[in-house]
Structures are given as C-alpha cells and as structure tokens.
C-alpha cells in the first residue's frame, strides 16, 4: 500500500543482471579505480582495460536506469548480488573494449545530489565521463560509445544528441515517447500481467493520473494534500508516524519537481532524430515497463526522420524488461523469481554489434 500511494517516489526502471563470468584472479583485463569531475561534482568509478589487445582501446560508458545505483549497477536494499554494470564490463572488456562505469552522483564514492537531479543532469555526467576518457592516452578518443538501459537510454539520447564525437550508442529497453505515455502504458500492461481485473487497472490508472496531472501542473500543494488524503485512508496500523510522513512528503516534492517532472515531459524521440552515429536498439518482447507495441515504431520513425543510415532494431523474444530468461508474464513481480542474469543472446548481440562498428588492435 505504501508503494502504491508514494508511487512517484518509487517508479524505478529496473535494469538488473547478476553473476560473474570469471573467477577472481583469472580476469582477462585489469581494473582501475578512477575519478573525474563534472564542474564541482566528483564522480568515482572503475575503468576496465583489456590485456588481450593493444592500446589505445575503443571504449564504452555504461549507464544505469533510474534509482540510486552504484558503479556496478546495484541498488541498496533491492536484490543482493545483482551488479549489471559490472556484468557488462565483464562481457565486453575481454573482447578488447575498455568499459567505464561509475557511481551515480551522490552515491558511493561520488559527490553531488541525486534526489534533485534530472535525466539532463545525469547526461552531463556522461559527457564528463566522455571527456575524461578522451584525455587518456590508452583510450581511442574516436571510438567511444554509450550503452544505456531504460532511463539510461534517455540519458544516452540526451548526451549523444549534444556531442557529435560519440562514436555509437546502444539503447536497451528504451522509450521513444514521453514519460507520461510510458507510465500510462506501464500501468495498464503491468496491472494485467500482475493479474488485476480491468476495473482494478482502471481505478489504479485514475489515481495515478490524478497525481501525475498535479505534477505536470506543478501544483505541489494539491499533490501534498492528495497524498496525505490517500494515506489517511490506510488502517491506523499502516500509517507512518507524522514526522516520517512529513519527511516522505518533502522527498516526494523534491523528486516530483525535478526528476519526475522532467521524465514525464521529455520526449527522447526529439533527440534520437538528431543522432547520426550507428545505433543499436534492443527491445524485450514481454517488457511491461517499456513496451514494444508503444515504442518500437516511434523509435524507428525518429531514426528515419533523422536520416540515420546505420541503425538496427531488435526485439528479443521471451524476455522481460531485465532481459531475463524463462519469462512467462513479463510482470515486475516475476523478476525476483527468475535467474538473476541476462539471457545469453543479449550479451552476444551487444558484443558482436559493437565489434562490427569499431577497430580493435
């Protein structure tokens, strides 16, 4: 119930994989702890460098989805052992590709404020990471690409549209319509996949729309009153203490004014049209968070409108927003019951596509 009422505090586009490809001490690459800056923000991360190929190396910057994630893509208190960004590094670096991953601003070893930051703010961190890589003699500055999942795809679009030196981009389960439309579809498809009746889905969507429309109108007083009203309907033993409720309301307003408002109004298609470098777009057939039906054709249309001559759009079958195997419904509630890893086809697809678009010495 708490998650339902505080929905704009807990809309997290999950992008999780897990497991290690290599035994400790048997890694075909070296890892280096690094820091770089974005104005007064210090970003701390890990750069994996291949020892199977000669420098300077092509490189990718991997970008996580929404939520507070460290350099490995792990979210505190979510699912122990899921470290998606590390997994991508382990999958790509042995093929001769350097990979940079870093703690999001305000997380782990990175400074800055996370809660008040928007997709555009996170994109400036990516551009700072790009500038850092180009400053290194062991990185080929002409062969640096970006990979982003879910909201990370939006971050990739925003960054790549503003830096023509980025060599290639990959979108994993990324949207091509504005966030408001995504949330409507997500509520409907997710509700159905979770076994809700049509009446329950309609009721859930109506409540969410009320909240979202207040955010769009920037009516923060109404949003606070609405949230307090809904919480007051809870059984007494489920209501938070007054001081806890006040803290949650304050956090909700910061989040709503910044990240959430930007997310709902930002249309990534506007930026995808501007990007002329090679693009790989990957959808998941059973994704209920960023659905193929809603986003595939608008994505293709945006690339066509922008006259991009080198793009590939792939829909992987029988997988969900996290690109897991053995998926039945695609609902978020199913994520925890499946093997904590990417389906094998995904990493193979990404690695082979990247290698076809770069030169490894």
Q: How far apart are CA 117 and CA 138, in angstroms?
A: 32
**CA separation for the pair 191, 179 (Å, rounded):** 18
Distance CA 316, CA 342 (A): 11
Q: pLDDT tens digits for the chain (361 residues)?
A: 333 333 433 332 322 233 444 444 567 789 999 999 999 999 999 999 999 888 999 999 999 888 899 998 888 877 677 788 888 999 999 999 999 999 999 999 999 999 999 999 999 999 999 999 999 999 999 999 999 999 999 999 999 999 999 999 999 999 999 999 999 999 999 999 989 999 999 999 999 999 999 999 999 999 999 999 989 998 988 888 989 999 999 989 999 999 999 999 999 999 999 999 999 999 999 999 999 999 999 999 999 999 899 999 999 999 999 899 999 999 988 888 888 888 999 999 999 999 999 999 8
Domains of the chain, by residue range, sit at 2-10+180-265, 29-177+267-356
- CA atoms within 13 A of residue 60's CA, in its CB half-sphere: 29
CA distance 240 to 97: 49
Distance CA 248, CA 256 (A): 12
Looking at domain 29-177+267-356, its CATH architecture is: 3-Layer(aba) Sandwich (3.40)
Q: Find, among 57, 36, 59, the residue nearest to 125 by Cα.
A: 36
């Amino acid at each position: 119930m708490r998650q339902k009422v505080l929905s704009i505090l807990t809309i997290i586009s999950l992008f999780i994989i897990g497991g290690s490809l290599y035994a400790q001490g048997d890694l075909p690459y070296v890892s280096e702890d690094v820091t770089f800056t974005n104005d007064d923000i210090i970003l701390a991360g890990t750069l994996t460098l291949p020892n199977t190929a000669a420098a300077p190396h092509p490189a990718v910057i991997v970008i996580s989805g929404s939520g507070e994630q460290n350099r490995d893509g792990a979210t505190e208190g979510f699912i122990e052992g899921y470290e998606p960004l590390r997994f991508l590094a382990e999958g790509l670096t042995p093929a001769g590709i350097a990979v940079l991953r870093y703690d999001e601003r305000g997380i782990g070893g990175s400074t800055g404020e996370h809660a008040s930051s928007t997709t555009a703010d996170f994109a400036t961190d990516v551009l700072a990471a790009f500038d850092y890589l180009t400053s290194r003699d062991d990185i080929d500055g002409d062969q640096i690409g970006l990979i982003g999942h879910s909201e990370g795809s939006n971050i990739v679009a925003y960054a790549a549209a503003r830096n023509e030196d980025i060599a290639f981009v990959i979108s994993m389960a990324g949207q091509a319509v504005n966030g408001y439309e995504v949330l409507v579809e997500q509520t409907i498809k997710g509700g159905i996949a979770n076994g809700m009746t049509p009446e329950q889905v309609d009721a859930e969507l109506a409540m969410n729309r009320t909240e979202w429309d207040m955010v769009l109108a920037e009516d923060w007083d109404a949003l606070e009153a609405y949230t307090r009203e809904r919480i007051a309907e809870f059984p007494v033993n489920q209501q938070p203490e007054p001081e806890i409720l006040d803290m949650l309301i304050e956090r909700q307003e910061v989040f709503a004014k910044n990240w959430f408002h930007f997310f709902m109004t930002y249309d990534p298609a506007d930026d995808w049209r501007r990007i002329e470098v090679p693009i790989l777009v990957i959808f998941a057939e059973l994704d209920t968070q960023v659905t193929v039906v809603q986003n595939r054709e608008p994505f293709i249309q945006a690339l066509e409108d922008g006259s991009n001559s080198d793009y590939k759009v792939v829909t992987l079958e029988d997988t969900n927003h996290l690109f897991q195997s053995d998926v039945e419904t695609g609902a978020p509630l199913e994520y925890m019951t499946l093997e904590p890893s990417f389906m094998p086809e995904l990493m193979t697809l990404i690695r082979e596509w990247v290698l076809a678009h770069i030169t490894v010495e």
